[in-house]
Amino acid sequence: MIRVRLRFAKVGKVRFTSHRDLARIWERALRRAEIPLVYSQGFSPRPRLHFGLALPTGAESWAEYLDADLVGDEPPPVDLAERLTAMLPAGIDVTAAALVEPGEASLQQAVERCDWRIEVRGAGEAAAAGAVAHVLSSAELPLPRERKGQVSVDDVRPYIEELAVVGPTDAGTELTARLGTQPRGLRPAELVAVLISSHAGLAGARGDATAADVPVWEPGHVIRTHQWMQRDGARQEPLPTATSAPHAEARAS
Amino acid sequence: MTSVWPRLEPLLPKVQKPARYIGCEDGAQSPDHDPSKTAWLLAYPDTYEIGLPNQGLQILYEILNERPDAVAERTYAPWTDLEELLRAESVPLFSVDTHRAAADFDILAFNLSAELVYTNVLNCIDLAGVPVRAADRRSEDLLIGAGGHCAYNPEPLADFVDFFVLGDGEEVVAEITEVVGRWKAAGKRDRLEVLVALAGVEGVYVPALYDVTYDGPRVASIVPNHPAAPERIEKRTIADLADWPYPRNQLVPLTEVVHDRLNVEVFRGCTRGCRFCQAGMITRPVRERPADQVRTMVTEGLRRTGYDEVSLTSLSTADFSGIEDVVAGIMDAPGCDDVSVSLPSLRVDAFTVGVAGEVSRGRRTGLTFAPEAGTWRMRQIINKLIREEDLYTAVDAAFSQGWRRVKLYFLTGLPTETDEDTLGIATLARRCVEIGRAHHRNPSVTVSVGGFVPKAFTPFQWFGQNTLEELTRKMHLLRDELRRDRGIQFKWHDPRATVAEGIASRGDRRLGAVIEDVWRRGGRFQEWSEHFDLQLWLDALERHGFTVEDLAYRHRTEDEVLPWDHISAGLHKDFLWQDWQDALAEVGLEDCRWTPCYDCGACTGFGIEHVVASAVPPAGGSQGTGQDLATGGSVPVAISARPLAASTVQP
């Protein structure tokens, strides 16, 4: 058995498929490409595919990963990435493939931080910059979050490693963020919730606007641009590619 | 072209399951629209996950797109969350293929698989930007078409649909394309002109060209009001399934849908003659696909789609005369080692220990049998001639081969049903649990009971449906009877939904006002328990002066004009009446594939015959042919020595 790591982009219309959907899409694509998969034992055998951190439904990504267990000892075919891309729906492009050394940590464990581009719809650039500055200057940022029906208030400040304004979009302002993923991580939508609450706090403190005048901020377009792990004391991508941005054609629709 | 995608995209993050609306399936097409082509928007008026797998829609999608003079795309009913956003943002109904607005098409054609989707049909027409009433439409508006099983009583939707198609769609869509193409080329001037031309196509019914008169709750007459309209509209029947190896490129969705596997239709039609079953009556005669073609469609389909499961579909797959060869052939094909085969409609009388052993090697998804009624008397009346021994043998085979969970389907509210018949369901279920205990400590039997709804073109079309109170009482009777039985789970279909279905199933043209009323008051997705509301229907009936008694609970009489009497499913009305009388006399009828003809009309009317590869009945014997059922007849079904999975097994 060998383990192959695949890096792929998920852009365009297919970004609205869920993590579960993606697992089935991959199973079928691998079968169609006639890549011999190792199956789990048991009542209902499934191919052994190991996905990294789930991408929120609706978010795009230039840096998704998948480890697949393949039958045999032969290295995977050199054209594996091209063969798989041909079998995958438009917008899912395999950008790199490599053997994974035995004993390597799983993607879920190894990835410690992700880089994002996050659009905040309704936010003007200056207001967004103000909220960003407030977030970065805060010592702690309590955020009520629900998990399995339980609401807990977590300090999410430690997860926000970098945060900056990129510039205006058609509908708001785009930010970049580097967010920690361990132990629970901070999702882009949660970061936007933090920014909205900072913004509301700032506006309230200045006493400048009634609710009707304040444009509603909401999460807009989100792209995961990188995932990072620590290896040999250095920050590395699980699998580097020659180019960071995928083919842009899938954005066309 | 007007793509709505730029306006739709920002709405999708706000809705549940946005992948319903993106298309991008493997097999999806992006046809080139052109003013010289007739553009069809094929609609399934329920959610994407219910509608996507529909084989009829996929077949027509491919056939139309292969034509140089047509294009076809698909649409599905948007869920209520998206509907709200579409209306707020003035985004019209769109195709999932290229996200074109509905107005870019010439025809919006619905697949009607169930009555409770009727309000969704109106909703889709409205979202398409078309007046819901056919009489209010102008020349430039889309033509609204409909086909599928519910089109056999088209009258409840007659006010909203410009033309109905009866029977198999493979050939008739070409003729409709040509008629509409000519009208389009001439500038789409007069809407009546195209309707009259459509009425000249065999199998096409244009309700506006007929006048209906009434006598109280009954229909008095249905007569053409235009010389071009035929007095009787005959269904279309394709003679040979081998000429239509579709879908060639079954759509593979990106998100979860029902029946998410390769589906290959092995035959169309059924002559078992179950008297409650509309599908079995209206799709006659039996037309089998040649075994070689089935094999090719399976192996090529699996290779192309990447599915690891194939379902051989039909109304009763064990009756397929080539079943053993076909299944063995699939398993022997290169690259098909890990494939499981499911036979979704397998009769209990064909389900033997051998078959159970083979299917159990695949993934075990649970087995379903459908005895339909609890006593032999009742099964003779409905003409489902399954003996108790047949069921017990099948259940024993299942449990002995490792299944722990068996599901049994029944109907209640059948003609002449007594409480003894209803409670017979409990007796059968208990015996099945006992059989299971011989093999496992905790066997589980799920009893699933639905209320019977009489349908057009069945021998039971004259039967007055059980009332809401009576159906509810019977469900409670069974529930109470089974309450303390360990190992039996009792599930029942909401009798209120059964009543609403009954209202729509045999209504006449006047019911249109009621359906429109229910829709205008928010009735959507009435197939879905979270949206279904019987009160909406009852209130609408009252406002329009109708009663459930007249529409659903009333027995029809022999001399009565039925609302679908101007339609022909190929069946003689006197055959159906005789079969109804036989039912009341508790007389079963044998399967006519292997007995003399009863002259139901299905074959003779079309100059075709049942196409079967074997002159001998399959395992388990034909209904009442007097074969030795226990030994499986002279053609025992011995299905391959490789794993297969049966997900649903119906007698």
pLDDT at position A213: 57
Of B10, B18, B256, the CB nearest to A57: B18
Contact B634, B627 (CB under 8 A): yes
A-B Cβ pairs (cutoff 8 Å, strict): 63
Nearest CA in chain A to B28: A89
Share above pLDDT 70 across residues of chain B, in percent, rounded to a whole number: 88
B565, with CB counted inside 10 A (0-12, 13-18, 19+), is middle
Kindly state whether residues B436 and B551 are assigned to the same domain. Answer: yes
B645 assigned to some structural domain: no
In a domain, B638, yes or no: no
Of A16, A27, A29, Cβ closest to residue B12 = A16
Backbone phi, psi, residue B47, to 5°? -65, 160
For residues B346 and A12, which has the higher predicted lDDT (pLDDT)? A12
Closest partner residue to B13 (CB to CB) among A30, A58, A253 is A58
CB contact under 8 A, B306 and A253: no
Token couple for B507? 């209504």
Share of chain A above pLDDT 70, in %: 92
Q: Tell me what the mean pLDDT of segment B319-348 comes to.
A: 72
Together in a domain, B168 and B214:
yes
Chain A CB contacts of B260 under 8 Å are 24
pLDDT bracket for residue B325 (50, 70, 90): confident
pLDDT band at B607 (very low <50, low <70, confident <90, very high): low
Residue B344 lies in a domain: yes
Question: How, if at all, do strands B367-372 and B163-165 pair?
Answer: unpaired
Work out the minimum CA distance from A235 to partner chain B, whole angstroms: 32
Q: What's the gap between Cα B520 and its chain centre?
A: 26
pLDDT for residue B330? 76
Instruction: Decide if pLDDT at B619 tops 70.
Output: no
The yes-or-no verdict on residue B627 having pLDDT over 50 is no
Q: Same structural domain for residues B352 and B212?
A: no
Contact yes or no for B22 and A21 at CB 8 A? no
Instruction: Please name the member of B19, B26, B335 whose beta carbon is closest to the beta carbon of A21.
Output: B19
Question: Do residue B227 and residue B295 come from a single domain?
Answer: no
Nearest to A14 among B10, B24, B335 (CB): B24
Nearest beta carbon to residue B12 from set A24, A45, A58: A58
Average pLDDT over residues B610-636: 43
> Is B335 close to A34, i.e. CB distance below 8 A?
yes
Question: Shortest CA distance to A218 belongs to which of A195, A186, A187?
Answer: A195
Beta bridge partners of B489: B446
The pLDDT assigned to A249 comes to 41
Residue A100 distance to chain B (closest CA, Å): 25
Which residue numbers of A have CB closer than 8 Å to B's CBs?
Answer: 13-14, 16-18, 20-21, 24-25, 27-32, 34, 39, 43-45, 57-58, 87, 89-91, 171, 219, 253
Tokens found for residue B510: 């006047």
Q: The dihedral of CA B166, B520, B3, B180: what is its sign? A: positive
Q: Looking at the 3D structure of chain B, how many domains does it have?
A: 2
At B268-285, the pLDDT tens digits run 998 889 999 999 999 999
Q: Are the C-beta atoms of A55 and A19 separated by less than 8 Å? A: yes
Residues B291, B322: Cα–Cα separation, whole Å = 6
With contact defined as beta carbons under 8 Å apart, do B406 and B442 qualify?
Answer: no
- Tracing tokens 């081969």 back to the chain, one arrives at B401
Per-residue pLDDT of B43-81, as tens digits, reads 999 999 999 999 999 999 999 999 999 999 999 999 999
Average confidence (pLDDT) over A26-32? 94
Q: Which of A20, A39, A58 sits opposite B18 (nearest CB)?
A: A58
Task: Answer yes or no: is B492 within a domain.
Answer: yes
Which of B163-172, B265-274, B392-401, B480-489 bottoms out in mean pLDDT, i.e. has the lowest? B392-401
Instruction: Give phi and psi for B591, each to the nearest 5.
Output: -70, 125
Q: Which residues of B touch A25 (CB under 8 A)?
A: 254
Interface of B with A in 301-340 (CB under 8 A): 303-308, 335, 338
Write the DSSP string, B398-456.
HHHTT--EEEEEEEES-TT--HHHHHHHHHHHHHHHHHHHTT-SS-EEEEEEEE----T
- Listed residue (A11, A226, A246) closest to A112, CA to CA: A226
- pLDDT in the model for residue A179: 97
Tokens of B482: 């089974």
Q: Which domain-ending residue is among B588, B605, B622?
A: B605
Please list every residue in chain B whose beta carbon sits closer than 8 Å to the beta carbon of residue A171. Answer: 10
Q: Give B179-194 pLDDT, tens digit per residue.
A: 999 999 999 999 999 9
Token representation of residue B275: 């008297």
Among candidate residues A139, A114, A135, the one with its CA nearest the CA of residue A123: A135
Any idea what the CATH number is for the domain that residue B200 is in? 3.40.50.280
- Region class of B608: left (phi > 0), else alpha (psi between -120 and 50), else beta: beta
Minimal CA–CA distance to B437: which of B409, B408, B407, B400?
A: B400
Residues B216 and B284 in one domain: no
Residues of B in contact with A21 (CB under 8 A): 19, 254-256
**pLDDT tens track for B14-50:** 999 999 999 999 999 999 999 999 999 999 999 999 9
Position A250 scores a pLDDT of 41
| Encoded amino acid at A185, one letter | G
Distance from CA of A105 to the nearest CA of B (A): 30
Residues with Cβ within 8 Å of B395's Cβ and at least 6 positions away in sequence, in order, are: B369, B406, B432, B435, B436
Distance from CA of B645 to the nearest CA of A (A): 11
Same domain, B359 and B489: yes
Q: Are residues B83 and B133 in the same domain?
A: yes
Angle, CA B48 vertex, CA B45 and CA B50 arms, to 5°: 75
Instruction: Please answer yes or no on whether A32 and B363 come within 8 Å at the CB atom.
Output: no
User: What average pLDDT does range B300-312 have in this prediction?
Assistant: 91
Inter-chain CB proximity A31 and B306 less than 8 Å: yes
Residue B464 lies in a domain: yes
Say whether both B402 and B483 belong to one domain: yes
The residue length of chain B stands at 651
- Mean pLDDT, chain B, integer: 89
DSSP E strands in B95-217: the ranges are 107-111, 143-147, 163-165, 204-205, 210-215
- A91 interaction partners in chain B (CB closer than 8 Å): 24
Please tell me the distance in Å from B404's CA to the nearest CA on chain A.
Answer: 13
Domain annotation covers residue B628: no
Is the pLDDT assigned to residue B500 strictly greater than 60? yes
List the single residue in B5, B26, B256 with the smallest CB-CB distance to A253. B5
Percentage of chain B exceeding pLDDT 90: 76
Which pLDDT score is estimated for B397? 84
A253 to chain B: closest CA residue = B5
Mean pLDDT over B311-321 rounds to 84
The model's pLDDT over B505-542, given as tens digits with 9 standing for 90+, comes to 999 999 999 999 999 999 999 999 999 999 999 999 99
Is the pLDDT higher at B319 or at B8? B8
Return the pLDDT at B485. 93
User: Same structural domain for residues B65 and B141?
Assistant: yes
pLDDT of residue B567: 97
Q: Closest Cα of chain A to B82: distance in Å?
A: 14
Given a cut of 60, whether residue B361 has pLDDT beyond it is: no
Work out the end-to-end distance of chain A between its first and last CA atoms, rounded to an integer number of angstroms.
40
> Are the Cβ atoms of A21 and B99 closer than 8 angstroms?
no
Q: Is residue B26 part of a domain?
A: yes
**Min Cα separation A139/chain B (Å):** 32
Q: What is the mean pLDDT of residues A199-226?
A: 78
- Average pLDDT value for chain A: 89
Map residue A93 onto helix, strand or coil: strand
Q: Which value does ipTM take for this structure?
A: 0.90
Tens of pLDDT along A155-174?
A: 999 999 999 999 999 999 99
Angstrom distance (rounded) from CA A68 to CA B25: 23
Q: Do B309 and B167 fall within a single domain?
A: no
Full residue range of the structural domain in which residue B564 is found: 261-510+546-605
Assess whether B88 and B24 both reside in one domain: yes
Nearest to B256 among A21, A34, A91 (CB): A21
Q: Is B558 exposed, middle or buried (0-12, 13-18, 19+ CB in 10 A)?
A: exposed
Q: What average pLDDT does the segment B381-399 reach?
A: 89
DSSP per residue, B18-59: GGGG----BT-------TTSEEEEEEESS-HHHHTT-HHHHH
Q: Which residues of chain A make contact with B13, given a CB cutoff of 8 A? A: 58, 219
Task: Find the CB nearest A17 among B3, B19, B303.
Answer: B19
Is there a single domain that holds both residue B459 and residue B367? yes
Q: Is residue B646 part of a domain?
A: no
A234-236 vs A218-231, strand pairing mode? antiparallel
What does the pLDDT average to over A218-235?
92
* Strand B567-568 to B233-234 pairing: parallel
State yes or no: pLDDT of B624 exceeds 90: no
**Which alpha helices (H) appear in A42-180, and where do they start and end?**
80-87, 107-110, 125-137
| Backbone Cα Rg of chain A | 20
Contact flag A24-B256 (C-beta cutoff 8 Å): yes
Helices in B438-533 by DSSP H: which ranges?
Answer: 468-482, 495-505, 511-520
Q: What's the average model confidence in pLDDT over B551-580? A: 96
Residue A161 vs residue B623, higher pLDDT: A161
Residue A212 has pLDDT above 80, yes or no: no
**CA geometry: angle at B547 spanning B542 and B548, to 5°?**
120
CA distance, residue B471 to nearest chain A CA (Å): 39
| A116-139: pLDDT as tens digits | 999 999 999 999 999 999 999 999
Alpha carbon separation from B591 to B290, B347, B385, B621, B638 (Å, rounded): 21, 14, 10, 10, 22
Contact of B256 with chain A, judged by CB distance below 8 Å, is answered with yes
The answer on pLDDT for B403 being more than 50 is yes
Q: What is the pLDDT of residue A209?
A: 55
Residue B439 has a pLDDT of 92
CATH of the domain at B483: 3.80.30.20
A44 vs B335: CB contact, 8 Å cut-off? no
Choosing among A10, A16, A84, which should be mutated to test the B contact, i.e. which has the most B CBs within 10 A?
Answer: A16
